[in-house]
Amino acid sequence: MNAPDGKPGGAGGPGRSDAASGRSGVPSLEVALAAVDGIDAQAALRAVGGRVALLERMLRKFVEHYGGSAFSLAAPTHLDQLPALCASCHALRGACAAIGANALAGALQQLELAAMAPAPPLDELVGGTIRVRGDLQRLLVGLTRALGH
């Protein structure tokens, strides 16, 4: 969409849609994200240099990938499953940090470190995995609402 001066980007400037700038009665992404428990909207915007459209694309990809069947954070039942748990935690932790889900990223780091410890107690890892999955599910629900799905 072009702004009245003919330049791309609409009222919100380059990379911002009218919806992202709060026009037409649609709340801005920043306002919508502020209502999502577990997201630091300002940190997320800083990470993308204030480019709201880029952040929105990242959030949609996050919801699509981690909310779909392609990703699994399985609670370990045997010690030989710990490397897979570590890899899943590591990947999700990076994605969470990129979108401003800092508390979840921290919980994933703790779970990953616990899984890397020598002879970790499986019951504690199972409990930690279940808690993190619950936190992820709540985050996905909040993001889905904020993105207007």
In a domain, 77, yes or no: yes
Question: Is 12 or 44 the better-scoring residue by pLDDT?
Answer: 44
- DSSP assignment of 67-121 equals HSTT---PPPSSGGGHHHHHHHHHHHHHHHHHHT-HHHHHHHHHHHHHHHSSS--
Confidence at residue 98, expressed as pLDDT on a 0 to 100 scale:
94
Structural domain contains residue 59: yes
**CATH, residue 133:** 1.20.120
4 lies in a domain? no
Evaluate whether 138 touches 66 at the Cβ level (below 8 Å). Answer: no
Task: Specify if 50 maps to a domain.
Answer: yes
User: Is there a domain that residue 130 lies in?
Assistant: yes
Mean pLDDT of the chain: 84
Is residue 137 one of the residues assigned to a domain?
yes
Amino acid at 69: S
Token digits of residue 92: 């999700």
The total of structural domains in the chain comes to 1
Residue 113 falls within a domain, yes or no?
yes
Q: Which domain holds residue 44?
A: 36-146
11 lies in some domain: no
- pTM, two decimal places: 0.79
What pLDDT was estimated at residue 27? 63
Compute the distance between CA of residue 103 and CA of residue 139 in angstroms, rounded to an integer.
Answer: 11
Q: Give the model's pLDDT for residue 19.
A: 40
